[in-house]
Copies of this chain bind each other. A is one copy, B any other.
Amino acid sequence: MSDFASTEQRLAVTCRRYPDFPRRPATLVRLIKHIHKLLHDDANLTLKPYGLNHPQYNLLMMLYGSASGTMSPSELADAAGEKSANITRLTNELCEKGLIARSGSADDRRKIELSLTSQGQALLESLLPDICTLLAKQGRHLTVSEQSQLEKLLKKFLSGLAD
C-alpha cells in the first residue's frame, strides 16, 4: 500500500491548527500529486529499456493519435502540456534518433509539420505491449464501472480548474 495514511494524518493536524483549511479539496490535490508521481515513475521504468523517457514517449503517442499523422510544434506543445521551449529540445532529440521527421508545411510556410517516421512507429509498436500491460495493471483495482465513474468525476474536477 502506498502510505497515504500519513498524509491524511498531517492534513488532520493542519486542520486543527488552521480550521479554515479546506480539507476535502486539499486531500484531492495531494492524492493527485501522489498518484501522478507513481504513474510518472512507473512509466519511466517501463520505457527505459527502449531508450525513451516519459515526455518523449508522450510526444510520440500524440503523433500516433493524430488524425492527420502530423502536428506542428505548437500543437504538440499544447497536446503534451509542454512549454514551447521544451518542445524544440525534445523534438530535436527525437529527430536525432530518427523517430520523427520535420518538414515544412505547404499551406502555411511558417509552420513545420512533425510526423512519426516508420522507425518511430515501429519503436512505438514494439513498446506498446509493455505499456498496455502497465496500464491494465494500473487500473486493475477498479471495476469498469468504477473507472467510468472516476473518469466522469475527474472531468468535472478538471472543468473547475480552467479559470
Contacts and interface: CB of A to CB of B under 8 A. Distances in A.
Interface of A: 1-2, 4, 6-7, 9-14, 17-18, 20-22, 24-29, 31-40, 42, 61-62, 64-67, 79, 81, 125, 128-129, 132, 135-142, 144, 146-151, 153-162
A145 to B, nearest CB: 10
Given A21-B132, A136-B25, A38 B161 contact: yes
B160 A140 contact: yes
Copies in the complex: 2
Contacts of A25: 135-136, 138-139, 147
A61 B160 contact: no
A159 to B, nearest CB: 5
Given A22-B132, A138-B160, A79 B29 contact: no
B128 A2 contact: no
Contacts of A1: 159, 162
Contact of A33 (B13, B17, B26, B36): B36
A32 B39 contact: yes
B157 A27 contact: no
